[in-house]
A and B are shown apart, each in its own frame.
Chain A
Amino acid sequence: MSDDGDATPTDRQPSGAPIAIQLTDIVKRFPGVVANDGVNLTVRAGSVHAIVGENGAGKSTLMKTLYGAHKPDEGTISVNGRVEVFSSPKDAIAEGIGMVFQAFMLAANLTVWENIVLGDEPGSAFSLNIGKARSRITELGARYGLDVDPDALISDLGVGDKQRVEILKVLYRGAKILILDEPTAVLVPQEVDALFESLRELTTEGATIIFISHKLDEVLKHADAITVIRQGRTVGEIDDPSAVTSHELAEMMVGSELPTPETRDSTVTDIPVLELRNLTVANGDAGARKMLDDITFTVHRGEIVGIAGVEGNGQSELVKAIVGLDRSTGTILLDGLDIARLSTRERRDAGIGYIAEDRHKDGLVMPFALWENAALGHQHRAPYGRGPWLNVAGARTQTEAIVEEFDVRTPGINVPAFTLSGGNQQKLVVGREMTADPKVLVAAHPTRGVDVGAQAVIWDILRDARAAGLGTILVSADLEELIGLSDRLLVMLRGQVVAEVDPASVTPAELGSYMTGAKAGAA
Chain B
Amino acid sequence: MWEKIWRGSLAPLIAAAAAIIISSITLIISGNDPIEAFREMWKTIDSTQSVVLIVNTAVPYYIAGVAAAIGFKMNLFNIGTNGQYLLAALVAGWAGAEVSLPPVIHVAFVFLVAITVGGCWALIAGILNVTRNVNVVVSTIMLNYIGIGLSAFLLSEVFRDEVNGGLVAQTKKMPESARLPALNPLFELFGFHFGSNVELFGFLPFAILLGIAYYVLLNRSLFGYELRLSGMNPDAALSAGVNPKRMVLITLFMSGAVAGMIGLPFLMSDPSFLKYGDAFPTMIGFTGLGIALLGRNHPVGIGAAAIVWAMIERATQRLGPLGIPPEIGKILQGSFLLAAVIAYEVVRRRNDAAAVAAAAAATRDEKPPPPTPQMAPIGATS
Contacts and interface: CB of A to CB of B under 8 A. Distances in A.
Interface string A386-425: 0011101000000000000000011110011011110010
A31 B368 contact: yes
Nearest to A348: B241
A389 B358 contact: no
A364 B239 CA distance: 10
A344 B376 contact: no
A325 B376 contact: no
Contact of B233 (A73, A325, A366, A420): A366
Nearest to B365: A421
A360 interface: yes
Nearest to B362: A411
Given A31-B356, A367-B382, A416-B382, A354 B223 contact: no
A368 interface: yes
A379 B356 CA distance: 26
A392 B222 CA distance: 10
Interface in B74-116: none
Given A367-B382, A390-B224, A379 B368 contact: no
A425 to B, nearest CB: 11
A390 B241 contact: no
Contacts of A325: 238-239
A418 B222 contact: no
A354 B241 CA distance: 11
A419 B359 contact: yes
Contact of B220 (A365, A375, A390): A390
Interface in B255-306: none
Interface string B43-54: 000000000000
A30 interface: yes
A411 B363 contact: yes
- Greatest chain B CB density within 10 A among A32, A34, A348, A365 is at A365
B232 interface: yes
B366 to A, nearest CB: 7
A364 B236 contact: yes
Interface residues of B, number: 39
Nearest to B355: A419
Contact of A379 (B226, B233, B238): B226
A365 B233 contact: yes
B352 interface: yes
A418 B220 contact: no
A411 B361 CA distance: 9
A420 B359 contact: yes
A372 B236 contact: no
A380 B222 contact: yes
A231 to B, nearest CB: 15
Contacts of B239: 323, 325, 344, 354, 356, 362-363, 376-377
Contact of A424 (B235, B241, B242, B363): B363
- Is the contact region of chain B dominated by helix, strand, or loop, or is it mixed? helix
A388 B223 contact: yes
B30 interface: no
A368 B229 CA distance: 8
A345 interface: yes
Task: Select the residue from B232, B238, B241, B380 with max chain A CB neighbours within 10 A.
Answer: B241
Contact of B373 (A345, A411, A415, A416): A416
B334 interface: no
Contacts of A361: 233, 235-236
B369 A30 contact: yes
A29 interface: yes
A421 B366 contact: yes
Contacts of B363: 409-411, 420-421, 424
A367 B358 contact: no
Contacts of A420: 359, 363
Given A379-B225, A380-B222, A419 B236 contact: no
Contacts of A32: 368
A385 interface: yes
Among B219, B221, B358, B368, find the residue whose CB has the most chain A CB atoms closer than 10 A: B368
A421 B224 CA distance: 28
Interface string A287-319: 000000000000000000000000000000000
B229 A365 contact: yes
B243 interface: yes
A347 B243 CA distance: 13
Nearest to B363: A409
Contacts of B128: none
A399 B271 CA distance: 54
Contacts of A411: 358-359, 362-363
A118 B222 CA distance: 48
Given A379-B222, A421-B368, A366 B373 contact: yes
B196 interface: no
Contacts of B197: none
Contacts of A87: none
A264 to B, nearest CB: 30
Contacts of A416: 352, 355, 373, 382
A155 interface: no
Interface in B195-243: 219-226, 228-229, 232-233, 235-236, 238-243
B240 A418 contact: no
Contacts of A419: 355-356, 358-360, 371
Contact of A31 (B226, B229, B233, B369): B369
A283 interface: no
Contacts of B366: 34, 421
> Among A345, A361, A376, A420, which residue has the most Cβ atoms of chain B within 10 A?
A376
Contacts of B238: 325, 344, 362
B374 interface: yes
Interface of B: 219-226, 228-229, 232-233, 235-236, 238-243, 352, 355-356, 358-360, 362-363, 365-366, 368-369, 371-374, 376, 380, 382
12 contacts: A30-B369, A73-B369, A344-B238, A344-B241, A360-B374, A367-B232, A372-B225, A379-B225, A390-B221, A416-B382, A421-B363, A421-B365
Interface of A: 29-32, 34, 73, 323, 325, 343-348, 354, 356, 360-368, 372, 375-377, 379-380, 385, 388-390, 392, 409-412, 415-416, 418-421, 424
Given A366-B371, A368-B228, A415-B359, 11 more contacts: A29-B369, A345-B241, A363-B236, A364-B236, A367-B373, A375-B225, A379-B222, A388-B221, A388-B223, A390-B220, A410-B359
